[in-house]
Amino acid sequence: MNLIKLQVKTTSHKYPIFIGSDILNKLKVILKENLISFNQCLVIADKNVPKKLIDKVLNALPQKKISLHYFNSSEKNKNQKSINNILSILLSKNFNRNDCVISIGGGITGDVSGFAASIFKRGLKFINIPTTLLSQVDSSIGGKTGINSKYGKNLIGAFYQPSLVISDIVFLKSLPKREIICGYGEILKHAIIADKKFFTFLDINGSQILNLKSPLIEKAIFKSCSIKKKIVETDEKEMGIRKILNFGHTFAHAYEATLGYSKKLNHGESVILGIKTAAKFSLLNSILSIKDFNLIENHLNKLNLPKNINKFFSIKNLNKILSFMKKDKKNNTKKINLVLLKKIGSPIHKLQFDEKKINLFLRKELIK
């Protein structure tokens, strides 16, 4: 069993990420070695996770008071009502600040659990066991927690670092292919913004990574986490360089919101579309070379990944897409902030554009 450990050190907190295959049974030892103890814990489990894997976690925990709360994970349930349900359990069982919330699930479950942990008595211990590829390479690192509202995605939340992250490949084997592609979108984004060599590795091994071939999948997760860790350590609260992690996301979040977070387009697929849109916008604004743009487009073609927004949207969606882009939390003027690309491995994040310019660009992309 290969067990890889990454240590994340931010100004507020440091915590380990363990990556490996079939490492859940080591949970008790990992907790002990990392000096994490509690009198009682609330396990918040995504209903989509196979019960035998949830039981595996429960059986590996120290024999303390364990409460189990099943969460029906969806963007629509990533809301204040779900937070209130969790807070009610914590209050009724008289949890204190030395106790613990454990999330077993994808990014939505982790975001909701982490946010509840952050606001209960101003902070409980939080352990994240991400069960999707997307959450293992993205949302479990960096301490962003939060919920959606009718005004947009992730507009209510807090930065709250976990005490521990356990990323076990065993969870991935229970996922449909579409969920693996969803996580691959973030892996690809990390390569494009930070590491040309890693992009080349993905270009060579992409189909095997999507098929969860070991040790390529572990290497892709580790490398992706390492890139995000380095950025988060430099800029925990997203005041500067961390903004590059939003490459493709201003478009992506608007695409998701326009479709009402429906199953037509999941987060990772939106990110892949956002990567392509941001790369094309970079090319047309003479920021990115045609050579690097073609490398990205050919990679999407090779793996048959979503790449054309006109397959999902028509011109009648244009105003809605733009209205969500204008509400994006990164905007601080009437202009729209975008992270664009100079070349693979080199993004730019201090760019603002008039709505009119983006309108014209998207209009052409939608009527192709």
Residues belonging to the active site: 122, 144, 186, 228, 238, 242, 246, 249, 253, 267
CA distance 229 to 236: 10
CA distance 72 to 259: 20
With beta carbons less than 8 A apart as the criterion, state whether 336 and 355 touch.
Answer: yes
CA distance 251 to 254: 5
Give me the helix-helix angle, 80-92 and 107-119, nearest 10°. 50
Per-residue b or e along 45-76, where b marks 16 or more CB atoms closer than 10 Å to that residue's CB: bbebbeeebbebbeebbeeeebeeeebebebe
Consecutive H or E run containing 338: strand 336-343
Give me the helix-helix angle, 355-366 and 318-326, nearest 10°. 140
Amino acid found at 335:
K
Which residues sit opposite 337 in a β-bridge?
Answer: 352
With beta carbons less than 8 A apart as the criterion, state whether 162 and 311 touch.
Answer: no
The dihedral of CA 247, 277, 272, 223: what is its sign? negative
**Alpha-carbon dihedral angle through residues 237, 242, 245, 248, given to the nearest 10 degrees:** 100
Largest CA distance in the chain: 60
